[in-house]
Structure 1
Amino acid sequence: MSAQDYKFKGWVGLDKDCVEKGTLVEQEFTPKPFGDSDVDIKITHCGVCGSDVHTLNSGWGPAPYPICVGHEIVGHAVRVGKDVKEIKVGDRVGVGAQSCSCMKPDCSQCPNKNEQYCDKSVGTYGNFYPDGSKSMGGYGDYARVHEYFVFKIPDSIPSEIAAPMFCAGVTMYSPLKRNGAGPGKTVGIIGIGGLGHYGLLWAKALGADKVVAISRYSNKSDDAKKLGATSTIATAEDPEWAQKNANSIDLIVSTIYAPNLPIADYLTLLKHHGTYIQVGAPEDKVPAFSMFPMIMKGVKIGGSLIGSPAEIKEMLQLAADKDIKGWVNEWPLSKVNEALAAFQRGEPRYRIVLVNEKHVN
């Protein structure tokens, strides 16, 4: 079979109950038309992200069913367009949560290496390209993506380790790097899970003096310290946690998206002129909070969205140079429904990666 003869096939959700009922089904779908700058990827691995579940259950708004999710894609290039410059057939490559942007010189974001904030950004699944075709993700056999959003993977990073870095990894790397995590700084990571454990790994790798793992309970404290934390805070086990740790952290990155976030208490942890960055995206609105901790100490509150292509390349090189490996659990793609159920139960420590048995030998 030639590269042009394969069919795109994946596990798709047909309605908002597909995760709860375990009813993703494998079926063929039509990818976007192949362009001169496109790369077709034979998928070997795809990470499971919280965004996949939010999308499948229409938690962030109605999903365009049928939909194949998955935006932590790793595989091998099997076809490249005539204008593709950096990727060749056979390269091991990865794709994250973004598959396109306008890439125009007059864009307010793309020329400044902020492509993820482009108004015409296209997500790897659940969005539509300018020609009206639907973007479909990596819970399947093949992916088709513009070369600018396809990245070579350093040889030293195993595919199952690389996959979650393309969303979870860079979602934490970007705000840490952009907000000065490094020598002389104390960094706090709220939530020790699929996102948060990368926050601990990157904060340590970037050279932060102290790394504080902030979670409700202390049951993950040993894990947190193995991942790079120098101390932990268990907010549900000490009613005075905020006061006891006040004015101690330069930068906090929060992965939590519960509707009852104690934001004012988190701001209390910050030093004067510190920064709080939210990356966890809630389905519901967070409650109002007192502005005084923000005003009285001059702290800043911000948000961060995935990472730019430049940051993905930089992150992969850092992982290769320092032998950084996230904690992953491999599941066969054919058992995706069981994997999503395990994800919903909070079982993985700390990331699930689907392995396409048809393509891994």
Structure 2
Amino acid sequence: MTSPSQFHGWLGYDAKAAQGNLQWAPFTPKPFAETDIDIKITHCGICGTDIHTLRSGWGPTHYPICVGHEIVGHVTRTGSSPAASRFAIGDRVGVGAQAASCLQDGCQECSAGMEQHCPRGFVGTYNGRYKESGYWSMGGYADYIRVPAHFAVKIPKRLKSADAAPMLCGGITVFSPLKNNGAGPGKRVGIVGLGGLGHFGVLFAKALGCEKVVAISRRRNKENDALAMGADEYIATSEDDKWEKNHSRTLDLIVSTVSTPDMPFSGYLRLLRTNGQFIQVGAPEDNLPAIAAFALIAKGCKIGGSQIGSPKEIEEMLRFAAEKGVKPWVQTRPMKEANRSVVDMEDGKARYRYVLFNEGEDSAKL
């Protein structure tokens, strides 16, 4: 296996790209460094972040851009550094939402294994700028990707590539706050939103052995799916009468995956028990709603946030998923259908994660 000098991918040239106006075109990857590996992409999940970025929803995007940060493929080139030498040509590996951090001994976050919170050198897998070369990172709606090896992980044999890909961002985004905030036996956990992230929340909370898993959504149209995923209970906030009162003080932890500021925030907090925690992982383009101070003070509630996970956390999650047989609900589509898939994702048609695959070499079956 070798890597070409030019990669090809679905490029967005302006904010209209989010409307299905991506163009398949060549691009030049960052210069190869001895800390890098090249990956021939077989699969790439579609994440809500892709759409926010394509339309410059979270701030100005650097165009042209190739999005996609739920990437699985095979190594085609490795550098000579210790990080890169962990991999051999042909290894099946994955890359999530982060491609670089400073990795300096003086960085408290990197030294503590929290690279995703690095304040000095965080580079996203796309729309991030590598300080050393000045090149902008390009993502996985493509045939190849070049990334620093530190942020690549091996995929366990028991996981199919189409299942592993969306775990690399969608999965870790909820696995990390669940695990780090005590989800497990004896805990009652609520998952707000039953989309790509939320369905992972239900799957992982159940696999972690939580006493009760409650799916919380606006409407009741996803109830059967939630129960099939392992939810013990379902709350439809726009259809259930007095849901805040009827379920008051029933949950220890709530993980919110929704990316809209139009949420009944105070109602969610009412569901928490004393010393309960509310963790936001969805990232709206506008501010979250205001809340009354006594919604926190009266029960000693805590509000927090969580951002993806470190490479070690991702490896832990993949091992856990393989051991417990966690299987996401995915729909695979050929890479050539990226434009249609982005539009369908924005329209809420995914049940519950689209995964693009490059045709050839039986990629759809891996």
TM-score by length of 2: 0.96
Of 21, 24, 36, the match for 2:22? 24
User: Offset at 1:111?
Assistant: 1.1
Determine the structure 1 residue equivalent to 2:278: 276
CA distance in 2, matches of 1:359, 1:149: 25
Determine the structure 2 residue equivalent to 1:92: 92
Determine the structure 2 residue equivalent to 1:126: 127
Q: Which amino acid aligns with 1:257?
A: S
Determine the structure 2 residue equivalent to 1:78: 76
Determine the structure 2 residue equivalent to 1:63: 61
CA distance in 1, matches of 2:227, 2:275: 27
Determine the structure 1 residue equivalent to 2:143: 141
User: Offset at 1:28?
Assistant: 0.9
Q: CA RMSD in A?
A: 1.1
User: Offset at 1:6?
Assistant: 4.8
Determine the structure 2 residue equivalent to 1:101: 101
Matches within 5 A, 1:286-305: 286-305=288-307
- Evaluate the alpha carbon distance shift between residue 4 and residue 350 of structure 1 in structure 2; reply closer, same or farther with a 3 A threshold: closer
Determine the structure 2 residue equivalent to 1:115: 115
CA contact (8 A) 2:99 2:124 kept: yes
Structure 1: give runs of 5+ residues left out of the alignment. none
Q: Number of matched residues?
A: 359
CA distance in 2, matches of 1:234, 1:51: 25
User: Offset at 1:238?
Assistant: 2.0
CA contact (8 A) 2:93 2:154 kept: yes
Determine the structure 1 residue equivalent to 2:230: 228
Matches within 5 A, 1:277-356: 277-356=279-358
User: Offset at 1:310?
Assistant: 1.1
User: Offset at 1:103?
Assistant: 0.8
CA contact (8 A) 1:264 1:291 kept: no
TM-score by length of 1: 0.98
Instruction: Report whether the alignment pairs 1:13 with 2:12.
Output: yes
Spell out, residue by residue over 1:150-189, the C-alpha distance to the aligned partner (whole angstroms, 9 max, x if none).
Answer: 1110111011001000000000000000000001100000
SS class of match (2:89): coil
User: Offset at 1:358?
Assistant: 4.5
CA distance in 1, matches of 2:306, 2:160: 27
Q: Which amino acid aligns with 2:15?
A: K
User: Offset at 1:115?
Assistant: 0.5
For structure 1, which segment, 128-137 or 281-290, has the greater mean C-alpha deviation from structure 2 after superposition? 281-290
Q: Which amino acid aligns with 2:108?
A: S
Spell out, residue by residue over 1:83-134, the C-alpha distance to the aligned partner (whole angstroms, 9 max, x if none).
Answer: 1231111000000000011111110201111100001110000010012110
CA distance in 1, matches of 2:142, 2:217: 34
Matches within 5 A, 1:153-232: 153-232=155-234
User: Offset at 1:287?
Assistant: 2.3
Q: Which amino acid aligns with 2:267?
A: D
CA distance in 2, matches of 1:90, 1:326: 25
CA contact (8 A) 1:43 1:359 kept: no
Q: Which amino acid aligns with 2:126?
A: Y
